[in-house]
Amino acid sequence: MKNDFEWHRCVRLFAKANEEGLRLDKHPTDPTAALVRSKQHPGTIYVVSAERCTCPAGGFCKHRALFAFEWPGMLLQVVDPATLPGVEPVEEITA
């Protein structure tokens, strides 16, 4: 029942993301990724995709759950992180 556990975990993380008011913005250069502003670290933007997120949580986080539920078919505005006042994008982490 590992899949059931993962599904329930994803739903809980998605609910938490919604409660916190997190939203996705289109990544300016990567059509397979989105940007999410951190609520815990104001001024920080994470890069999130189906495979990874640059937040410190690592693994499957609320940002990836938000991406999983909202990305398909979603029309997002293009946001360039450099144009947002007081925001420093977090560089993508490579293993």
User: Could you list the pLDDT tens digit for every one of the 95 residues in the chain?
Assistant: 345 667 788 889 999 999 999 999 989 998 889 999 998 888 899 999 988 999 999 788 999 999 988 876 544 444 555 555 555 656 655 54
The angle formed by the CA atoms of residues 65, 63 and 35, to the nearest 5 degrees, is 130
- Domain contains 27: yes
Evaluate whether 46 touches 38 at the Cβ level (below 8 Å). yes
The rounded Cα 30 to chain-centroid distance in angstroms is 13
- Domain contains 95: no
Domain of 33 in residue numbering reads as: 2-89
Structurally, how many domains does the chain consist of?
A: 1
The overall pTM is greater than 0.95: no
- Domain contains 94: no
CA dihedral (56, 58, 63, 65) in degrees, to 10, reads -160
- Domain contains 17: yes
